[in-house]
Amino acid sequence: MTQTTSFTVEDLKETMRSCAGVNESVDFGSDISDITFEDLGYDSLAVLEVAAKLQNHLGVVIPDDVAEQLVTPRALAEYVNVRLTD
């Protein structure tokens, strides 16, 4: 397992940026916690890609059907964070 003790939306942003890129129309520097992935320009494939990266790097299992239900960065970050600190 990993040394990470908390996982924030800022950490998630970094993963999103590196594996799925950023839409030009989105201000990624602002607080995007409660904007849906869809509105941020991330389709289901992008969310699966992000989830797979988190799974591989943090060891947190995010089943595909669960990933589909986590529609905002805050929801996904909290899901990961809870399982990291368990």
Partner 1 sequence: MTRRAVVTGIGVTAPNGLGAEAYWAATLEGRNGIGPISRFDPSGYPVRVAGEVADFAAAEHVPSRLIPQTDNWTHLGLAAAAWALEDAGVEPSAFPEYEMAVMTASSSGGTEFGQREIERLWSKGPSWVGAYQSIAWFYAATTGQISIRHGMRGPCGVVCAEQAGALNAAGQARHLIETGTRLVVTGGTDAALCPYGLTAQYSNGRMSEAGDPDRAYLPFGVDAAGYVPGEGGAMLIVEDEADARARSAPVVYGTIAGHASTFDPRPGSGREPGLRRAMELALADAGLTAGDVDVVFADAAGVPELDLQEAAAIGAVFGPRGVPVTAPKTMTGRLYAGGAALDLAAALLSVRDDVIPPTTGVTELAPGCDLDLVRGAARETRVGAALVVARGYGGFNAAVIVTKADQRSTR
Asked if 75 touches partner 1 (CB under 8 A), the answer is no
Side chain identity at residue 23, one-letter code: N
CB of 19 to partner 1, least distance (A): 6
Measured CA to CA, the distance from residue 57 to residue 71 in angstroms comes to: 21
Interaction pattern, residues 5-44, with partner 1; x per rule: CB under 8 A? -------------xxxxxxx----------------x---
CB of 14 to partner 1, least distance (A): 13
Asked if 52 touches partner 1 (CB under 8 A), the answer is yes
CB of 28 to partner 1, least distance (A): 10
Cα 37 to the center of its chain, rounded Å: 9
Measured CA to CA, the distance from residue 9 to residue 58 in angstroms comes to: 15
Q: In the complex, which residues of this chain contact partner 1 (CB under 8 A)?
A: 18-24, 41, 45-46, 48-49, 52, 55-56
